């Protein structure tokens, strides 16, 4: 499977890709404020690259539950120096996590090639035209509500079916706006407007989204639902993260968005190897 992102062609095949998270925010749920200067953030991005990240996802606005949106000017102030510096220092593709077209345009001009939009191109009417005009890759994420209020009693009759229909509508929207199918990545939005049962159900039925023929991005790293299952605080969710990532790989995830690249790269590689040989054996048995 191929993802086209501006002038890059990114292969997503039997070995899922690991996307390292680079937060340029004072209030992100995991590492908000940990990297307080541009130099510190750039060093962190380079470290993730050295640890084996296949892509980097750089964000300047927190989307944790309960977070407030910020103005585009502030987001650009945080984000642009980092994207510019990282793009000059690494060769792996850079994604920018934003829902604002002005921020996305500046980031693409600075060297990013993918837009990771938690609203799936719904928050800013100009974003779809930007993606179409630049040929950037785009991550379409499902979210019920907005970050400020998304965890206030979200409800679904059939979470897998509803996310499936959302993807179907968003892919059709993209095609109508001139965005190629090979530019699209789908993200079920674990933890975004979903209760524990919804998150576990989506992960357990992740293969349902293979029907779209596009890479599935999964972000479970250190999230609250892991703490709910295991009774662990934020800093003690690495093993739960590893288990969720291994399952996601076995269910067809193509891109795993993580904070700990070194450790989760090994989890992805091991899970992918087992899945690959299991699938090969099944094909032989049914031949």
Alpha-carbon distance 105 to 10, whole Å?
A: 21
Catalytic residue among 64, 100, 105, 257: 257
Q: What are phi and psi of 118, to 5 degrees?
A: -65, -15
Verify whether residue 237 is a known catalytic residue: no
Alpha-carbon distance 123 to 111, whole Å?
A: 23
Alpha-carbon distance 209 to 248, whole Å?
A: 12
Alpha-carbon distance 188 to 160, whole Å?
A: 9
Alpha-carbon distance 42 to 22, whole Å?
A: 9
Catalytic residue among 223, 237, 251, 265: 223
Verify whether residue 223 is a known catalytic residue: yes
Nearest Cα to Cα of residue 190 among 137, 277, 258: 258
Q: What are phi and psi of 232, to 5 degrees?
A: -115, 140
184 CB contacts (<8 Å, ≥6 apart)?
137, 138, 140, 171, 174, 214
Looking only at the bridges linking them, the beta strands covering 8-11 and 2-5 are antiparallel
DSSP 35: S
Residue 35 φ/ψ region, left for φ over 0, alpha for ψ in the -120 to 50 degree band, beta for the rest: beta
Active site amino acids: 223, 257
């Amino acid at each position: 499977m191929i993802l086209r992102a501006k002038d890059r062609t990114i292969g997503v095949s039997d070995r899922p890709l690991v996307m390292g998270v680079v937060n340029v925010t004072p209030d992100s749920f995991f590492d908000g404020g940990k990297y307080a200067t541009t130099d510190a953030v750039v060093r962190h991005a380079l470290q993730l690259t050295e640890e084996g990240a296949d892509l980097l996802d750089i964000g300047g606005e927190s989307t944790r539950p309960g977070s407030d949106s910020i103005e585009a000017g502030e987001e650009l102030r945080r984000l642009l120096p980092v994207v510019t510096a990282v793009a000059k220092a690494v060769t792996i593709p850079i994604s920018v996590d934003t829902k604002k077209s002005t921020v996305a345009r500046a980031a693409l001009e600075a060297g990013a090639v993918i837009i990771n939009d938690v609203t799936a191109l719904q928050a800013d009417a100009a974003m779809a035209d930007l993606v179409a005009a630049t040929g950037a890759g785009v991550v379409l994420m499902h979210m019920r509500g907005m970050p400020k209020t998304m965890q206030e009693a979200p409800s679904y009759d059939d979470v897998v079916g509803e996310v499936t229909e959302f993807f179907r509508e968003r892919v059709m929207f993209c095609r109508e706006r001139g965005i190629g199918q090979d530019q699209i990545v789908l993200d079920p939005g674990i933890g975004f407007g979903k209760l524990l049962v919804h998150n576990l159900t989506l992960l357990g039925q992740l293969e349902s989204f293979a029907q779209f023929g596009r890479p599935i991005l999964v972000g479970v790293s250190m999230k609250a639902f892991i703490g709910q299952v295991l009774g662990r605080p934020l800093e003690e969710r690495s093993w739960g993260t590893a288990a969720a990532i291994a399952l996601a790989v076995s269910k067809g995830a193509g891109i795993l968005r993580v904070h700990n690249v070194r450790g989760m790269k090994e989890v992805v590689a091991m899970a992918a190897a087992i899945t690959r040989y299991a699938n090969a054996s099944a094909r032989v048995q049914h031949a």
